[in-house]
């Protein structure tokens, strides 16, 4: 993998670290690597505040937990129930990114928060967008709140929850399982009714019918896609939200590919001694596994909620890091070991290019595995729903 003698550190810079060239010139290697590290971690320092409003029993807490990848009994989960549990503004941080906060708002029109003083009690400007949640039709207070948010030009969405219960009720009426086409018709009937319910508010593009227990189904993926697209903080949203569809997985892949040259540059300027460069690359691999929920804790959790048997779970663990993956990684480590540590410029170039190739191959493998695992989990959910 050695390059020709005509390659220089200047060529490396011109191709890969253009935006950091001034930093390198002014502050040297340490300044460059510090700047790249700050850039890589920028998504973790981006404040995202998502407010949720709706009356008791609407499914706000279950939705908050779903977005955060938590069960109702997980540590730190929002309490669920049909009685009013929110008497004050309550923030819930995302476990993967505490800068993304879902904020449970008290219901509009209660004794503690009458509509007349609601705007004075709650500063809507602090939110990036507002989600109004209901398990049936939306109330007059919900519609009033949407109009108030619209006045200050904030994004808002209507989320109709518990669609899984609607389907089960319909199946009980018919005494049989619904076909896919019939499920679509049930959802369209509900949508038509809600659009009449919300006729005084612009809702056609921001109405989503979901079930918080099935994030990969119905309008849930579309809602998450809208949340990501409707903010300048898209990268932070993508790297924070769990990817449960193939489209979301590929979106994550695209964002992570944008990090590759930066990670490779950090590795290139790290000391060759003590394998500091290899450690940087392996840490990014672990980041990939976490991003796609392929770490052991996430796999166990997802298998449990997806009706996956122990033998299937064992297979998922086995496929997380195959012998082929191990051999490929070791071959890269062997190549790194051959790089002589006391020829700085040549060392930087070789390590950079080898690091880029390692990261791209690793990411491709992890994404392929993530798609396979999500298909297995989806089939488990499908079987669970037809029991």
pLDDT at position 301: 72
Helix (H) or strand (E) holding 93: strand 90-94
Profile the chain (387 residues) by mean pLDDT over runs of 10 residues.
39 50 73 86 93 90 93 86 67 94 88 83 90 94 92 92 95 94 96 94 90 92 91 91 92 95 88 80 94 84 66 64 78 77 67 92 93 77 53
pLDDT at position 15: 43
Q: What pTM does this model have? A: 0.83
Every domain of the chain and the residues it spans? 9-43+245-386, 47-232
pLDDT at position 13: 43
SS3 state of residue 210:
coil
Closest CA to 220 of 256, 251, 197, 248: 248
CA angle (294 as vertex; 287, 298 as ends), nearest 5? 105
The label of the residue with tokens 């989960």 reads: 77
Closest CA to 66 of 230, 255, 302: 302
CATH class (in words) of the domain with range 47-232? alpha beta
Listing DSSP states for 334-387 in one string gives HHHHHS-TT-HHHHHHHHHHHHHHHHHHHHHHHHHHHHHHHHHHHHHHHHHHH-
d(CA 166, CA 372): 30
Taking each continuous run of H as one helix and of E as one strand, the counts in the chain are: 15, 6
């Amino acid at each position: 993998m050695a390059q020709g003698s005509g390659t220089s550190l200047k060529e490396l810079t011109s191709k890969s670290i253009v935006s950091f060239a001034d930093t390198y010139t002014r502050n040297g290697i340490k300044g460059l690597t510090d700047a790249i590290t700050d850039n890589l971690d920028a998504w973790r320092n981006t404040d995202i505040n998502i407010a949720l409003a709706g009356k008791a029993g609407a499914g706000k807490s279950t939705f908050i937990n779903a977005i955060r990848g938590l069960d109702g009994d997980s540590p730190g989960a929002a309490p669920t129930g049909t009685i009013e549990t929110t008497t004050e503004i309550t923030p819930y941080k995302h476990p993967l990114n505490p800068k993304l906060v879902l904020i449970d708002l008290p219901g509009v029109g209660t004794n503690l928060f009458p509509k007349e003083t609601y705007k004075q009690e709650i500063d809507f400007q602090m939110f990036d967008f507002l989600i109004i949640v209901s398990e049936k039709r939306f109330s007059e207070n919900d519609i009033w709140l949407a109009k108030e948010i619209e006045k200050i030009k904030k994004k808002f969405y209507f989320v109709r929850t518990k669609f899984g219960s609607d389907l089960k009720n319909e199946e009980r009426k018919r005494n049989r399982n619904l076909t896919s086409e019939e499920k679509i018709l049930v959802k369209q009937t509900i949508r038509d009714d809600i659009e009449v319910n919300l006729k005084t508010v612009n809702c056609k593009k921001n109405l989503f019918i979901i079930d918080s227990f099935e994030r990969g189904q119905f309008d849930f993926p579309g809602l998450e896609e809208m949340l990501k697209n409707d903010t300048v903080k898209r990268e932070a949203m993508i790297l924070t939200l769990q990817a449960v569809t193939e489209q979301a997985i590929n979106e994550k892949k695209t964002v992570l590919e944008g990090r590759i040259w930066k990670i490779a540059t950090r590795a290139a300027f790290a000391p060759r001694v003590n394998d500091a460069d290899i450690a940087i690359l392996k840490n990014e691999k672990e980041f990939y596994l976490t991003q796609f929920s392929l770490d052991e804790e996430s796999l166990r959790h997802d298998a449990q909620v997806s009706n996956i048997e122990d033998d299937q779970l064992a297979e998922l663990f086995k496929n997380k890091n195959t012998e082929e993956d191990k051999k490929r990684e070791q071959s890269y480590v062997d190549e790194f070991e051959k790089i002589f540590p006391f020829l700085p410029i040549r060392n930087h170039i070789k390590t950079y290019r080898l690091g880029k190739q390692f990261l791209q191959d690793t990411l491709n493998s992890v994404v392929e595995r993530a798609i396979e695992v999500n298909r297995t989990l989806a089939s488990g959910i499908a079987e669970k729903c037809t029991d």
